[in-house]
Structure 1
Amino acid sequence: MSIIINLDVMMAKRKMSLNELSERINLTLSNISNLKTGKAKAIRFSTLDAICKALDCQPGDILEFRE
């Protein structure tokens, strides 16, 4: 089982930088960077909610399942 995080793709589509997203959702750059690079082991629903609001997207746009 593998969950792929497409945060970088959505950020590029919305032309949003890591710094801008960090400021909008009040999360540290290192935490967002860990999500973006796939190093994170978990994500809180509140964080996912904030990211989706900031990027105007659905959770499925950010998270993808691949076998």
Structure 2
Amino acid sequence: MTVYIDLENLLKEKQISKNKLCLACNLQRTQLNNYCKNKVSRIDLSILARMCEFLDCTPNDILKLK
């Protein structure tokens, strides 16, 4: 099994733009795109916590097992 980041689907489901998430979580757009495209090898837990707080979700909603 592998862990993958399902952030893009969550953003669509909650109808939140990437720009809004970047501003709220103090992320660079490139950084967010890497999370959305699952190109992150080491997840920054502080970023994950900020995204969860803003999106009102848990890490289980963002991180999935495949």
TM-score norm. by structure 2 comes to 0.93
C-alpha separation between the residues in 2 aligned to 1:33 and 1:3? 17
- Structure 2's unaligned 5+ residue stretches are none
Say whether 1:61 aligns with 2:43. no
CA RMSD of aligned residues (A): 0.9
Taking only the aligned residue pairs, the percentage that are identical comes to 32
What pairs up with 1:5-44 in 2 under 5 angstroms?
Answer: 5-44=5-44
C-alpha separation between the residues in 2 aligned to 1:43 and 1:27? 13
Aligned-partner residue type, residue 60 of structure 1: N
C-alpha separation between the residues in 1 aligned to 2:53 and 2:10? 12
- Structure 1's unaligned 5+ residue stretches are none
After superposing on structure 2, the runs of 4+ consecutive aligned residues of structure 1 that deviate more than 6 Å are: none
Aligned residues: 66
C-alpha deviation, 1:63, in angstroms: 0.2
